[in-house]
Structure 1
Amino acid sequence: MLSTKLSKYSIILASNSPRRQELIKSLDIPFTIKTKEVEEIYPKELKHSEITDYLAILKSTPFKNDLKENELLITSDTIVWMHNKALGKPKNYKEAFQMLKELSNTKHKVITSICITNTSFQKTFNDTTIVSFKELLDDEIEYYINTYKPFDKAGAYGIQEWIGKIGIIKIEGSYFNVMGFPVHKLYKELSKL
């Protein structure tokens, strides 16, 4: 099993996201959580998975000098990609409402990158899922934002929450990728170590 294979490593998840913590826990591998602040700014010319790859790597940089030989650091980033632009986390109610209006009655891509860092290597990979929303009514959007406060979520929504249950009509790709962690790809990459 993976936990046996990884027993020589001490795994660190650098994420405050309860969803990512829950998903990595579901792989049945022991890990600890350590986070360091990093300003999530990327060069404007980056597109699509270049953005999430860049940010996942960027999140590993504050740990560079602290990592021990037996430690594996896992960092990641998720964006919603639509109309050739990235939707990150909304700063306020107005931005969240605007994002959900934009996602209404159309499809978008959810892209997550994961970076695995060790003192001797660094590996980055990503996954893309296409999500289709029904037409969301204004009162549905208002209810969701007021009740669930999705300000820590790319694109202002969580697929596992109320809006995902009533609004998403189709997904092509990994459900867990939309939650913020393509666990199938993480499992595959960790299995190669």
Structure 2
Amino acid sequence: MLSLRVPLVLASASPRRRDLLARLGLAFDVRPSDADETWPEGLDPGPAAAEVALRKARATPAEGALVLAADTVVVLDGEVLGKPADADDAARTLRRLSGRTHTVATGIALGLDGREATAFETTAVTFAALSDAEIAAYVTTGSPLDKAGAYGIQDDLGAVFVERIEGDYFNVVGLPLRRLYATLRVFVPDLVSLA
């Protein structure tokens, strides 16, 4: 288990991020951020996601606590595929991902008493070729509607579409745990330990 000797605030409403932090054994408060999530122009996916995560951390006041914010994006052909607007948009996105490799980038930002740190992780994800029936069945579950790129690798059905990943699985879920731990070890070395 991971141990922090400072209160932790998660600046995210994502149930997946909450689950991943809980798996590490961390206690935390959830305070979703309302920061601007507009994609920064001119940046590669990883640094851009880290910039958005930093905006979220800065918009989450938490005096005396460590703030953790994250932003995950799915990128195909240089275009950011955000959360779908509706079921039709989700189906269109899944058709675009079908049989292709895309990039998932998650930026993380930490803030504590005026100090900040950012990091990011990128993972290549290859989808199998999907039939219209498979796409329709998945969209009908409603699961794609709250996820960047219209799928969740941790979903039972979403997982069967993934043919291969190159990189960190947890990054695709929404929080790269190894990168988070490594960043904590540099940012607050005296406040983090493995218990």
**Helix, strand or coil: the match of 2:141?**
helix
Which residue of 1 is the match for residue 83 of structure 2? 89
Residue matched to 1:107: 101
What is the Cα-based RMSD across aligned positions, in Å?
Answer: 1.5
Partner of 1:137: 131
Deviation at 1:145, TM superposition (A): 0.7
Q: Are the counterparts in 1 of residues 36 and 52 from structure 2 also a CA contact under 8 Å? A: no
Question: Which of 41, 52, 55 lines up with 2:52 in the alignment?
Answer: 55
Cα distance in structure 2, aligned partners of 1:136 and 1:20: 27
Using the TM superposition, give the Cα deviation of residue 127 of structure 1 relative to its aligned residue in structure 2, in angstroms. 0.4
For 1:45, give the aligned amino acid: G
When normalised by structure 1's length, the TM-score is 0.90
Mapped partners of 1:120, 1:147: distance in 2: 42
1:36-185 correspondence to structure 2 within 5 Å: 36-63=33-60, 66-68=61-63, 70-185=64-179
1:37 positional shift: 1.9
Structure 1: how far apart are the matches of 2:87 and 2:48? 24
Report sequence identity in percent. Answer: 37
Asked if the contact 1:47/1:85 (under 8 Å) is kept, the reply is no
Deviations 1:31-74 (A, max 9, x none): 111123223213443332232112101112222xx331x31000
Q: Higher mean Cα deviation, 24-33 or 134-143?
A: 24-33
Q: 1:108 to 1:42 in 2, by over 3 A?
A: closer
Paired with 1:99 and 1:164, the residues of 2 have a C-alpha distance of 13
Bigger shift: residues 27-36 or 89-98: 27-36
Matched residue of 1:60: which SS? helix
Q: For residues 43 and 16 of structure 1, what CA distance do their matches in structure 2 show?
A: 22
Q: Which amino acid aligns with 2:82?
A: G
Alignment partner, residue 18 of structure 2? 21
Distance (Å, rounded) in 1 between the aligned partners of 2:154 and 2:168: 13
> Cα deviations across residues 61-94 of structure 1 (Å, max 9, x unaligned)?
222xx331x3100000000111011111111112
- TM-score when normalising by structure 2: 0.90
